[in-house]
Each structure stands twice: as C-alpha cells, then as structure tokens.
Amino acid sequence: MPGYVVSRIVDVLNASGKGLSGSRVLVLGVAYKKDVGDTRESPSLRILRLLAAKGARVRYNGPYVDEIELGGETLRAVDLADEELRSADCVVIATDHTCYDYKHIGAMAGLIFDTRGVTRNLVNTGVVRL
C-alpha cells in the first residue's frame, strides 16, 4: 500500500503542475496507528522512504515520535506551524491522530493527500482522498 500511496501523491502533484522531485512533502503522523508512539511496521516510514528516494524533500510531524531514522540519517519532527503547512507542496495525512486540528490544517495547506478519510467535512478544494 505505501507504494500505491506514493504513486497517487506523484499523480496529485503532477496534476497541480509540480513534480515529486524537489517538492516539499510534509507527512503527518509516523506511528503505526493513531494516538500511539510506536513506529514498528508503520506504513508512514515506508512512504517517507519512497518519497525521499524519488527526490522529494520530506518532513514530518509526529506528536508522539520526536525522531526517526530515514536512509541512514536522523530526521526530527517539525512543529506543525502555519508556515510549515503553507510551505508544503503536499501535506500527507498518514496517521489520523486525534490531536490534529484537521479544519485548521485544511485552511492552511494548499494540497492535502488524506490516506485516513479524516477530511470529509473540509471545504478545501485541494483535498484528495485515498
């Protein structure tokens, strides 16, 4: 499934006139399920690895995970600040943590790829759901 998610992200970025290589992709949530800090067998990590391997400039926010190993390097979680959301070419909702304010994320982010179905009530036209 992570490979399929990445291919869909590529399609979504292409449709918006951007290629994956060089694009800023912010992944929300790296835990294997919501509201936990366990990353074992997390599809989010594979998504991040695949995106980075294809040239995306990846960042992540994980309210329960401060850092991860990605391609031999340590990647630290970023704050979910408005500027972080606005500057991302694509925000990927990978884990549906209950602490996320999806309405606010929808208002700040230009393009959202929702793998968890949490954006059904958003009016943001830049939302693409899996």
pLDDT in tens, the chain (130 residues): 999 999 999 999 999 999 999 999 999 999 999 999 999 999 999 999 999 999 999 999 999 999 999 989 999 999 999 999 999 999 999 999 999 999 999 999 999 999 999 998 887 678 999 8
Of 22, 88, 83, give the one whose Cα is nearest residue 60: 88
Cα-based angle 58, 90, 65 (whole degrees, multiple of 5): 45
Number of H helices, E strands in the chain: 4, 7
Q: What would the DSSP string read from start to end of 41-104?
A: T-HHHHHHHHHHHTT-EEEEE-TT-SEEEETTEEEEPPP--HHHHHH-SEEEE-S--TTS-HHH
- Is residue 94 within 8 A of residue 36, CB to CB? The reply is no
pTM above 0.85, yes or no: yes
Query: Domains of the chain by range and CATH?
Result: 2-129 (3.40.50.720)
